[in-house]
Amino acid sequence: MSAITLPNRTPGKPGPAALISAMFATVRARLLIVSRYKGQLLNEIVTPIVLAAMPILLGRATAGDRASEVFLANTGTANYVGFMLIGSAVFVIVSNAFWHVANWLRWEMETGTLESIYLTPTHRVFVAAGTGIYSTSRSTVGAFVAYLIGSAIMGINPFQGDLLIAFLFILFGLIPLFGMTLLYGALVLKLKEANAMLNLMQWVVNFLMGVFFPITVMPAAAQFIAKLFPPTWMTNGVRSAMLGVGYFFNEWYFDLAVLWFFMLAAPMLGVWAFKKVENSVRRNEGVGQF
Amino acid sequence: MYGTVVVENLTKTYYTKQRKGLFKSEPRNVEALKGVSLDVKEGEIFGLLGPNGAGKTTLIKILSTLLLPTTGSARLNGYDVVTDDNAVRATVGCMLMGDRGLYWKLTGRENLLYFGALYHYSPADRKRRAQEVIDMLDLGDLADRSVETYSSGQKMKLAFGKALINDAPLLILDEPTNTLDVPSASELRAIVRQKNQQEGKTVIYTTHIMAEAETLCERVAIIDYGQMLASGKVAELKSSLGREHVTRIAGVIPAKAVEAVKKLPAVSQATLGSVDGMAELTVMSHNGTDTLARLIETLGQVGATIQKITPQDVTLEDVFIAKTGRTLAENTAVDTGAKK
């Protein structure tokens, strides 16, 4: 018999470098898989343009030449085309980031590879983070290209306002989304169902983050709920930085601080809930059943 | 410590629901394991045998940390499956769901590299280990083709390769030859034997094919209805049937023949199965030759048409029949039906 080589000196207790390496291996695997499905990126570029075009054209149809004037009075910017395009582009980023763990879990359950992942010593949160980085990078590139194309088609300048601050709002907004997506993923792991909830939540998210309108036009109670939702701060931050619609707390750094708070709290809550559900599922039917 | 498995009084109850139409359901408990204990020694190939639904997969899923036990304990390589689950995962190689555990859009090599990363190999080490596995299994050019283009046998071979990627001292293989044709199954068994003999890997091998267990395993345990019915060396289990004689009778045999034959004084067990579409009655008796005449007479009385009578040596299948009163072809429905 030859000597047995163990994979780790401390089995099952990897260092941060090994976990980060596993996370980026997941990003690479996802990229390789999607590269074998042609046309997906094209869909993601077209979606925000179509999404924004409908209310823009509706606005023109109902308000005619006075569309900009009416919009300025209600939102603080006359650039309603930019407002909608930014809203749609951020919505595509948020939407993909928000569902990715749920979609990833369902996909892995159905293809049968989820149990393979659970057989390895890498915690699923790191694999989920890998799929999150992949999914968010992909949708961010798609949304940015869509914003550029949409701006060209609608005849507006895509580069206006403070782009660096807008970028900070997107960056800070994505991390709480990872926490939220883990919460939603935990639900899918338990209920083994994603589509019905996704269909419902898609519209709730769309409404709460104010994709097509500023949340200031909502009733007070709805505004309160919307402000508990990190993407609302993200969308408003990007619009304020680029179009000057106005921050909720008047200064960009106060709004960013709120996102910073969400950035700390949401992932902790998400990881806690995900682990809790994961153990509950392992106590009964297991993760592979769907 | 490495390469050992110690299971003590393991139980697993699933809490499920019995559907009653569209909206109604009743809670129901299903006891999949009822106090299973076993002890696998370093460097042995241990067979876990039982029909579909016997509780083998539940046991394997607990050992591989996919499920938590309801009560009892299990230690693999010295690590507890509940409290040291990550250490168990790091030191066990598993092949549980066959080709469904692979990413079909990736190539074989990309699959191995990805799982190597999840086992925390450095990029250089995972490349080296993936190549080792590819060479070991003689995958050659196949390794750089996407898995969806593989045949069933090739996919199973790669799934086995995935179980080897972390070079673990203990391998858990759940029905690895299930979908394979005879030559591919034989090739996979040869590789398992080689890993055991040359590298000293301990193997837990589940199967419902008794002949496979007989050729491969040193010790086996028979599990049915969530209970361990027998455990020991293959030869010991076979000799435990003592002076039993096994006679297989093929032909057109009605179901009522079983009860009629069981009433014969020397017959200890009788089961009806089928081989190649023909009914086959397996009869165990204390004095084979003396019973044969009465056996033929009884079968004639119940309207059976005998085409072939074969006296045989005791096999593991016979041990299973003696312990359970059923053939392996009959599935087990593990269900107590108890309500919460």
Q: Indicate the range of A5-19, A205-219, A252-266, B184-198 predicted with least confidence.
A: A5-19
Lookup: tokens for A36? 């074998």
Q: Which helix (H) or strand (E) holds A184?
A: helix A163-191
Spatial distance between the Cα atoms of B228 and A167, rounded to a whole number of angstroms? 62
Q: Which residues in chain B have Cβ-Cβ distances shorter than 8 Å to A22? A: 117-118, 120
Q: Indicate the range of A51-60, A108-117, B195-204, B294-303 predicted with least confidence.
A: A51-60
Q: Of B229, B235, B216, which Cα lies nearest the Cα of B316?
A: B235
Q: What 3-state DSSP class applies to B284?
A: strand
Helix segments in chain B, DSSP class H: 56-63, 85-90, 108-118, 123-136, 152-164, 182-199, 210-216, 234-239, 256-262, 288-301, 316-324
Q: Of B212, B209, B192, B118, which Cα lies nearest the Cα of A27?
A: B118
Q: Which residues in chain B have Cβ-Cβ distances shorter than 8 Å to A280? A: none
Write down the pLDDT at residue B243. 61
Q: With contact defined as beta carbons under 8 Å apart, do B98 and B114 qualify? A: no
A26 CB-contact burial (10 Å; exposed 0-12 / middle 13-18 / buried 19+) = buried
Classify each residue of B179-188 as buried b or exposed e, where b means 16 or more C-beta atoms within 10 Å of its C-beta: ebeeebbebb
Write down the pLDDT at residue B332. 56
* B15: Cβ contacts below 8 Å, ≥ 6 apart: A284, B27, B28, B29, B340
Q: Is the pLDDT of residue B97 over 90?
A: no
pLDDT > 90 fraction of chain B, expressed in percent and rounded? 43
pLDDT tens for A128-170 read 999 988 888 888 888 888 888 888 888 888 888 899 999 999 9
Write down the pLDDT at residue B192. 92
Gap from A190 CA to chain B (nearest CA, Å):
13
Gap from B162 CA to chain A (nearest CA, Å):
9
Q: Is the pLDDT of residue B44 over 80?
A: yes
Question: Where residue B19 falls among pLDDT bands split at 50, 70, 90?
Answer: confident
Q: Which residues in chain B have Cβ-Cβ distances shorter than 8 Å to A2? A: 198-200
Give me Rg for the CA atoms of chain B: 23
Spatial distance between the Cα atoms of A144 and A274, rounded to a whole number of angstroms? 31
Nearest to B97 among A11, A115, A284 (CB): A115
**Numbers of helices and strands, H then E, in chain B:** 11, 14
Residue B259, Cβ neighbours under 10 Å: how many? 10
Lookup: tokens for A89? 């582009």
Q: What is the 3-state secondary structure (H, E, C) of A216-285?
A: HHCCHHHHHHHHCCHHHHHHHHHHHHHHCCCCCCCCHHHHHHHHHHHHHHHHHHHHHHHHHHHHHHHHCC
Gap from B61 CA to chain A (nearest CA, Å):
9
Kindly list the distances between the CA atom of residue B112 and the CA atoms of A119, A160, A246, B87, in Å, as whole numbers in the listed order: 14, 47, 51, 20
Using a CB–CB cutoff of 8 Å, tell me whether B97 touches chain A.
Answer: yes
The residue among A37, A120, A123, A283 with the most chain B CBs within 10 A of its CB, best to mutate, is A120
Residue B97, Cβ neighbours under 10 Å: how many? 20
Residue type (1 letter), B191 = I
Q: Which residues in chain A have Cβ-Cβ distances shorter than 8 Å to B77? A: 11
Q: What 3-state DSSP class applies to B328?
A: coil
DSSP structure string for B163-182: HHTT--SEEEEESTTTT--H
Q: What is the pTM of this model?
A: 0.81
Q: With contact defined as beta carbons under 8 Å apart, do A186 and A276 qualify? A: yes
Q: What is the mean pLDDT of residues A164-187?
A: 89
Q: Is the pLDDT of residue A107 over 80?
A: yes
First-to-last alpha carbon distance for chain B, in angstroms, is: 40
pLDDT tens for B238-283 read 777 766 778 888 888 898 888 888 888 888 888 888 887 788 888 8
Q: What is the mean pLDDT of residues A1-23?
A: 68
Lookup: tokens for B206? 């589940």
Q: With contact defined as beta carbons under 8 Å apart, do B174 and B139 qualify? A: no
Q: Is the pLDDT of residue B336 over 50?
A: no
Q: Which helix (H) or strand (E) holds A36?
A: none
pLDDT > 90 fraction of chain A, expressed in percent and rounded? 23
Strands B45-49 and B219-224, sheet pairing: parallel
DSSP structure string for B134-145: HHHTT-GGGGGS
Spatial distance between the Cα atoms of B302 and B305, rounded to a whole number of angstroms? 9
Residue B250, Cβ neighbours under 10 Å: how many? 17
Higher pLDDT, B178 or B109: B109
What are the residue boundaries of the structural domains of chain A, listed by start?
A: 18-282
Spatial distance between the Cα atoms of B199 and A5, rounded to a whole number of angstroms? 10
Kindly determine whether residue B120 and residue A32, on different chains, have CB atoms separated by under 8 Å: no
Q: Of A275, A14, A30, which Cα lies nearest the Cα of A120?
A: A14
Residue A264's Cα: distance from chain center in Å?
16
The residue among A33, A114, A116 with the most chain B CBs within 10 A of its CB, best to mutate, is A116
Q: With contact defined as beta carbons under 8 Å apart, do A45 and A88 qualify? A: no
Using a CB–CB cutoff of 8 Å, tell me whether B146 touches chain A.
Answer: yes
Q: What is the mean pLDDT of residues B210-239?
A: 88
Give the ipTM of the model, two decimals please. Answer: 0.82
